């Protein structure tokens, strides 16, 4: 299991979100409050969209040690500004601690990260792999359930209709799991982005999903906390989606309901029900 955060809004130094909050993701790497494990030290990664780059492919920086002691992560966080970025800290559920198993995963313009697990993944992995589009299969490099979910979602049309593709992925994983007598095959919070929009999914076969929160509208926060200078510097449509709140600011965080997903895009945030579909 893992912890993650996704940011969308005014371009900001990654540092501001990754290190500065009281209960930042870096703090969570040692002292997670809501995660299955207290410690998330089995690798980490960040992905960011860089307007100053030549193309729309986001940057991905991943490494295998704990985030809390990684100096390169701190350097990048203090010197890179981005309007849309992911960060993830990993606690492996058994697969190898290696860079190709660290989140976020990337395909073209798309980023993907995950907290949770496919139950009995080792046993059903082959059947899932067979369903991945052969062309996409070429690009799989790691051995995690998380990357498999990404490539299944890509196979099911993520780049055209992300929400529908994730619903089909979930439906397919549940079907294959049930075929192998797995009672509750899927447990997930997932974040997806394409450089302009950001999706956050919360679902589990058992209906007891890992925690997921989104930040309150900036306008509302400004009224609640007129003293916070930070809030005057970010645009109205700035949003965070996080595994657990970054601090105890009253009114700042809202739980994403069970079996639902949110879409964050400039001027238009939405929350929808999530229903796995037959693949």
Residues that bind a second copy (CB under 8 A): 13, 30, 38-39, 41-42, 48, 50, 52-54, 57-66, 68-69, 71-72, 75-76, 78-81, 92, 95-100, 122-123, 125-126, 129-130, 134, 137-138, 140-143
Minimum separation from the CB atom of position 270 to a second copy (A): 30
Strand partners, 63: 44
Buried b (16+ CB within 10 A) or exposed e, 180-205: eebeebbbbbbbbbbbeebbbbbbbb
Residue closer to a second copy (CB basis): 185 or 276: 185
Closer of 92 and 115 to a second copy (Cβ): 92
Strands 44-48 and 253-255 turn out to be unpaired
C-beta of 99: minimal distance to a second copy in Å?
6
Residue 120 CB, nearest approach to a second copy (Å): 11
Cα distance between residue 63 and residue 88, in whole Å = 11
CA dist 24 and 32 (Å) reads 10
The answer to whether 114 and 148 have CB atoms below 8 angstroms apart is no
Angle at 239 between CA 113 and CA 155, to 5 degrees: 30
Whole-angstrom distance, CA of residue 134 vs CA of residue 108: 17
98 or 260: CB nearest a second copy = 98
Nearer to a second copy, 53 or 275 (CB): 53
Residue 203 CB, shortest distance to a second copy, in Å, is: 26
Closest distance of CB 95 from a second copy, Å: 8
Nearer to a second copy, 108 or 257 (CB): 108
Least gap, CB of 38 to a second copy (angstroms): 7
Structure tokens at 52: 């100053």
Alpha-carbon distance of 139 to 107, in angstroms, equals: 8
Whose Cβ is closer to a second copy: residue 75's or residue 183's? 75
Rounded distance, CA 157 to CA 133, Å? Answer: 11
């Amino acid at each position: 299991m893992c912890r993650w955060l996704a940011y969308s809004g005014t371009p900001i130094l990654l540092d501001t979100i990754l290190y500065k909050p009281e209960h930042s993701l870096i703090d969570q790497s040692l002292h997670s409050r809501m995660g299955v494990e207290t410690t998330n030290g089995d690798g980490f990664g960040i992905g960011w969209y860089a307007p100053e780059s030549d193309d729309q492919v986001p940057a991905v920086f991943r490494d295998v040690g704990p985030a809390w002691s990684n100096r390169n992560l701190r350097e990048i966080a203090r010197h890179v500004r981005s309007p849309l970025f992911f960060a993830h800290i990993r606690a492996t559920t058994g697969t190898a601690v290696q860079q190709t198993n660290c989140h976020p995963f990337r395909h073209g313009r798309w980023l993907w990260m995950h907290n949770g697990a496919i139950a009995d993944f080792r046993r059903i992995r082959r059947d899932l792999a067979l369903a991945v589009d052969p062309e996409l299969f070429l690009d799989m490099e790691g051995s995690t359930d998380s990357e498999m979910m990404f490539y299944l979602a890509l196979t099911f049309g993520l780049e055209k209709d992300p929400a529908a593709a994730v619903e089909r992925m979930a439906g397919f994983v549940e079907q294959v799991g049930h075929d192998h007598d797995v009672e509750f095959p899927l447990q997930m919070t997932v974040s997806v982005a394409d450089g302009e929009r950001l999706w956050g999914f919360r679902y589990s076969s058992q209906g007891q999903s890992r925690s997921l929160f989104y930040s309150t509208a900036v306008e509302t926060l400004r009224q609640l906390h007129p003293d916070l200078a930070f809030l005057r510097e970010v645009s109205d449509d700035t949003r965070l989606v996080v595994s657990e709140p970054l601090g105890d600011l009253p009114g700042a965080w809202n739980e994403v309901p069970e079996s639902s997903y949110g879409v964050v895009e400039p001027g238009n945030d939405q929350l929808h029900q999530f229903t796995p579909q037959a693949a």
